[in-house]
Structure 1
Amino acid sequence: MVAPPLDARRAREQRLRAALPSTIEFLQRRRADLIDPGVIDDFVAIHWMEWHGGTLRLTVTGRNICAQIGLRPAR
């Protein structure tokens, strides 16, 4: 499998960074049904989120990204 070009990966990461605040808000309100399934798949694929017992949660990497952009998600 060939990796996508660097520009495409950067654009994807920027898009996901922009989607992270609203995604976390939906998770905190227990409304994961409002998150686009494709966005969830992308977060899981880049290891920012994981499924744990049927619940979507941030990984250590996801929490670090939140810290980088100034978000403080509830644990």
Structure 2
Amino acid sequence: MTPSPRLSPVLRREALRNALLETVDLLRRCRASEITPGFIDDYVALNWLEWSGGSLKLTITGRNICKQVAARLD
């Protein structure tokens, strides 16, 4: 995942959506350092991830987005 700070907000949101499943997988494997720089802040701002006790977890919104992305892949 390569960040592109010059993306329009719509394209940035789509990039975040497309990377969410991989991001969740990295979090599950305790490899948050491998998440594209800036994505965590954006996910938190979008309410797709939240800080809980010093670690990140999916919000209800984030889980729903994951389901939508996974459904598109089927």
TM range (shorter): 0.7 to 0.9
Give the alignment of 1:1-75 within 5 angstroms: 8-70=8-70
Identity of aligned residues (%): 52
Secondary structure of 2:51's counterpart equals strand
Query: Unaligned regions of 5+ residues in structure 2, if any?
Result: 1-7
Task: Normalising by structure 1, report the TM-score.
Answer: 0.77
The letter for the 2-side match of 1:70 is A
The letter for the 2-side match of 1:50 is E
* Number of residue pairs matched by the alignment: 65
After TM superposition, give the deviation of residue 15 of structure 1 in Å. 0.7
The letter for the 2-side match of 1:24 is V
After TM superposition, give the deviation of residue 19 of structure 1 in Å. 1.2
Cα RMSD after superposing both structures: 1.7
Larger CA deviation: 47-56 vs 31-40 = 31-40
Q: Which runs of 4+ in 1 moved over 2 A?
A: none
Distance 2:10 2:36 in 1: 20
